[in-house]
């Protein structure tokens, strides 16, 4: 049987989601815990891979088990075994061909920028001393919806077959001393959100004009966009699926 795991994690202690040599990953940590419980090697497949230092309020993963399980009991056992930085929100059965990555229809990210030095926020936001023009940043963010090819915001060395993404919305809003960028799309390229935020910050600081966003996207050249912002302010907040995957 196939099961989906809904989980959240603080990425500060991990080198990203995906298993990699000589590095602590979220995927490997969960697989090891499942291996102990079921007394055999377990492999899980995530909805996507977050880079080192990136957090997730929701990430979905699937894995196969050769028998029906008590999902509430398994959730309890996993949460007892896993480090404080990882929490299992729920586990539920899905159709045998349901896929955590390929069946996802939308993903949402948030990026947090702090305008005030805060010792309780420094691991979860990008502290920027200079004031940003949120009106201009929102104007530029709105331009993103007019395009689908975002090679200019993609990591240079990547194995994707297409740079096309359909952005549903992208906007900034103020939450006390934080500026929060929210973006939702059917898929994202590696480093895409951090590169978009970096570019929008350049516009918010007056280093770029709003209309330059058109030229940057059309150029398909990563060097024309702004620098990628720090990973620690980025959160994967939601992964959406069609109800047809459920049993």
DSSP bridge pairs for 169: 184
51 catalytically annotated: yes
CB within 8 Å of 44: residues ≥ 6 apart = 5, 27, 30, 31, 34, 61, 62, 63
The number of helices, as runs of H, and strands, as runs of E, in the chain is 5, 9
Orientation angle between helical segments 26-38 and 71-81, nearest 10 degrees: 120
CB within 8 Å of 92: residues ≥ 6 apart = 3, 4, 6, 71, 246
Contact (Cβ atoms closer than 8 angstroms) between residue 182 and residue 170: yes
Three-state secondary structure call for residue 168: strand
Secondary structure string (H, E, C) spanning 203-219: HHCCCCCCCHHHHHHHH
Three-state secondary structure call for residue 58: strand
Token pair of 134 as six digits: 């949120």
Q: Which of 6, 10, 51, 70 is catalytic?
A: 51
C-alpha separations of 112 from 55, 160, 186, 216, 235 in Å: 11, 27, 21, 23, 8
Residues with active-site annotation: 51
């Amino acid at each position: 049987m196939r099961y989906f795991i809904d989980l959240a994690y603080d990425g500060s202690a991990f080198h990203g989601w995906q298993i990699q040599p000589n590095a602590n990953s979220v995927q490997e940590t969960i697989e090891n815990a499942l291996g102990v419980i079921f007394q055999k090697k377990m492999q899980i497949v995530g909805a996507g891979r977050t880079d080192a230092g990136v957090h997730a309020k929701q990430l979905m993963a699937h894995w196969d088990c050769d028998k029906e399980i008590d999902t509430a009991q398994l959730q309890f056992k996993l949460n007892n075994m896993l480090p404080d930085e990882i929490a299992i929100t729920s586990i539920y059965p899905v159709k045998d061909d349901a896929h955590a990555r390929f069946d996802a229809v939308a993903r949402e990210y948030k990026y947090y920028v702090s305008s005030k030095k805060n010792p309780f926020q420094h691991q979860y936001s990008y502290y920027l001393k200079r004031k940003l023009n949120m009106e201009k940043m929102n104007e530029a963010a709105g331009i993103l919806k007019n395009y689908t090819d975002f090679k200019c915001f993609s990591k240079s060395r990547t194995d994707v077959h297409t740079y096309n993404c359909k952005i549903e919305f992208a906007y900034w809003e103020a939450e006390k001393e934080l500026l929060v960028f929210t973006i939702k799309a059917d898929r994202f390229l590696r480093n895409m959100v951090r590169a978009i935020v970096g570019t929008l910050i350049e516009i918010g600081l007056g280093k770029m004009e709003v209309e330059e966003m058109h030229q940057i996207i059309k150029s398909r050249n990563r060097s024309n966009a702004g620098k990628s912002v720090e990973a620690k302010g980025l959160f994967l907040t939601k992964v959406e699926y069609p109800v047809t995957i459920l049993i």
